[in-house]
Structure 1
Amino acid sequence: MPDLMDTYIENRWMVQPNHANNLDTAHGGNVLKWMDEVGAMSAMRFSGETCVTAHMDEVNFKRPIPVGDIALVRGYVYRAGETSVRARVRVFREEPRNGRQELTTESYMVFVAIDDDREPTPVPEFTVSSERGEELRAEALSDEPR
């Protein structure tokens, strides 16, 4: 049975000019794409199935990520239904020279596991077996939009 910590994914992208808008900061569309990719990887790691995006809750862009800085995207599954998986995905601006991080964007996402015929398929029971996993799940549940 997959555990929350098995689904924890962390990816980094150096923000380059081709990722930027006219203000030389990460284009919101690129940030959303990176979030969707990390969320889907977490959902697939949990379910063992292909997962498609079904819903993305409100996304607020709190701070920009300038060209030359790193977009650090963290995601994990914190809850599961019969065929759906909920993931929390957060983006941080990381300074490459010192590693300092600031939260820039976050969202809650729902993915649906599908079979080879692209029909919804059941996902495993959700478990949490570590203290860190319990902390992440409690944080996600307390901040989850209602």
Structure 2
Amino acid sequence: MVDLLETRIQNRQRVQPNDTNNYGSVHGGMVMLWMDEAAALSAIRFTGEWCVTAHVDAIDFLAPVPSGDTLYLDAYVYRAGRTSCSVRLRAYHEDPKTGDRVQTTDSNFVFVAVDEERNPAAVPELTCESEEAEQLRQAARDAHGE
């Protein structure tokens, strides 16, 4: 069994000029790449196996992140299947000077654990051993209509 909080990955990416579109804000594709990487780390931490992206729910882009600022990523596993897990992802525009954040993106990625032969592998049971973990799981379920 693995506790939800053990799967939490929080990461930051500095938005460089080559990450931006002609409006000076980060490309949506870069945000998706960074989200996929953080979600994969969360899934790997949960399963103890390499994981591959199997499905991405709608990605809602809520606000831009300008060049020079920081994209803060928050990912955690909130549901486990037999060989798969669902990861909640939120991204925030973070002011690098103050740490103030505004949510910019919300999504859910599904990963499949794979063994060394690249066959689906069983995943452990997900537990919520604290009120914080249970609140995170419920927030993910609510955000994705479960």
Partner of 1:64: 64
2:99 aligned counterpart, secondary structure = coil
Aligned mates of 2:52, 2:131 — CA distance in 1: 29
Partner of 1:88: 88
TM-score scaled to structure 2, two decimals? 0.97
Cα displacement (A) at 1:101:
0.4
Structure 2: gaps spanning 5 or more residues: none
Aligned mates of 1:80, 1:141 — CA distance in 2: 12
Structure 1 consecutive aligned stretches of length 4 or more whose deviation exceeds 6 Å: none
Aligned mates of 1:60, 1:130 — CA distance in 2: 29
Q: Which amino acid aligns with 2:9?
A: I
- Kindly tell me the number of residue pairs found equivalent between the two proteins: 146
Q: Render the CA deviation track for 1:70-100: whole Å, top value 9, x for unaligned.
A: 0001000001000000000000000011111
Partner of 2:39: 39
Partner of 2:79: 79
Aligned mates of 2:145, 2:45 — CA distance in 1: 24
2:77 aligned counterpart, secondary structure = strand
Cα displacement (A) at 1:2:
1.3
Cα displacement (A) at 1:145:
3.8
2:122 aligned counterpart, secondary structure = coil
2:127 aligned counterpart, secondary structure = coil
Partner of 1:48: 48
Partner of 2:2: 2
Aligned ranges 1:8-19 → 2 under 5 Å: 8-19=8-19
Aligned mates of 2:141, 2:111 — CA distance in 1: 17
TM-score scaled to structure 1, two decimals? 0.97
1:64 aligned counterpart, secondary structure = coil
Q: In angstroms, what is the RMSD of aligned CA positions?
A: 0.8
Structure 1: gaps spanning 5 or more residues: none
Aligned mates of 1:3, 1:38 — CA distance in 2: 18
Cα displacement (A) at 1:126:
1.0
Identity %: 49
